[in-house]
Amino acid sequence: MKHPFTPKPGSKIHLKDYDPDFRGDYDKAAAVAETAKLQEKIEKLQERLYAESKQALLIVLQAMDAGGKDGTIRKVFEGINPQGVRVTSFKVPSPEELAHDFLWRVHQHAPPKGYIGIFNRSHYEQVLVVRVNELEPKEIWKKHYDQINHFEQLLADTGTRVVKFFLHISKDEQKKRLEERLKNPEKHWKFSMGDLPVRERWDEYIKAYEDALSRCNTDYAPWQIVPANYKWYRDLVVTKTIFQMLEDMNPAYPPPEPDLDKVVIPD
């Protein structure tokens, strides 16, 4: 999908140049209606992908806290057969995971042939959280950009299409969403005191994201910078991009067994 938020591979990205309020010529009703139509098409393409079992699609979702990763997964894949979709949420690494290279735990969750895999956070935390919180020295984490590119190249070379979405919200919108979590008892579970010190380092995280988006935006694993202040427009952009990627992959049903026209089902 080509829109104003698809950066050219190799270009230097400055997030101030991308408006998180952007919603094109859409209003909410039009966007919701178009999203629903695209979801119907995705459902059919996903069935073909699962039946063919020769390709896979990996979707990476990254955002600042309250950026809408969970909501995007719920809305975009609403009504999609869960049999062919796997969602992985990456939390703080376990002691076993820390005993391996940072991609070890990630590679295990790459989608098998026939599946759509969704990463809620991902290997990019290694150049975001690790960098900002100085969990590794710079001479270590700066090597991760090339390692990530090599990993994504490996996936692409072996039949997995990769697309990455940065859900771009403003600092004011984040404050609004965090306040909503505090006001609504049903959303208290989503609020973490740990979100506050992260918010205080907003500018540092934005700089880390800009470097990740710039250095790991490739033809084989492109980033999409999704304006996400309006959730309904965010859902449309993500849904349309996924539809166009699946359409380009063009999965096909496998050929039937011979002589099916002669089969008689016994009583």
Domain ranges of the chain: 17-247
Q: Does the 17-247 domain belong in CATH 3.40.50.300? A: yes
Beta bridge partners of 229: none
Helices and strands in the chain, H and E counts: 11, 5
Per residue of the chain (267 residues), give pLDDT as tens.
345 678 999 999 999 999 999 999 999 999 999 999 999 999 999 999 999 999 999 999 999 999 999 999 999 998 888 889 999 999 989 999 999 999 999 999 999 999 999 999 999 999 999 999 999 999 999 999 999 999 999 999 999 999 999 999 999 999 999 999 998 888 888 888 878 888 999 999 999 999 999 999 999 999 999 999 999 999 999 999 999 999 999 999 999 888 888 899 998
| Residue found by looking up tokens 């966007």 in the block | 31
Q: How many other C-beta atoms are found inside a 10 Å radius of the C-beta of residue 41? A: 14
DSSP assignment of 217-241? --SSS-EEEEE-SSHHHHHHHHHHH
What pLDDT, on the 0 to 100 scale, is given for residue 169? Answer: 97
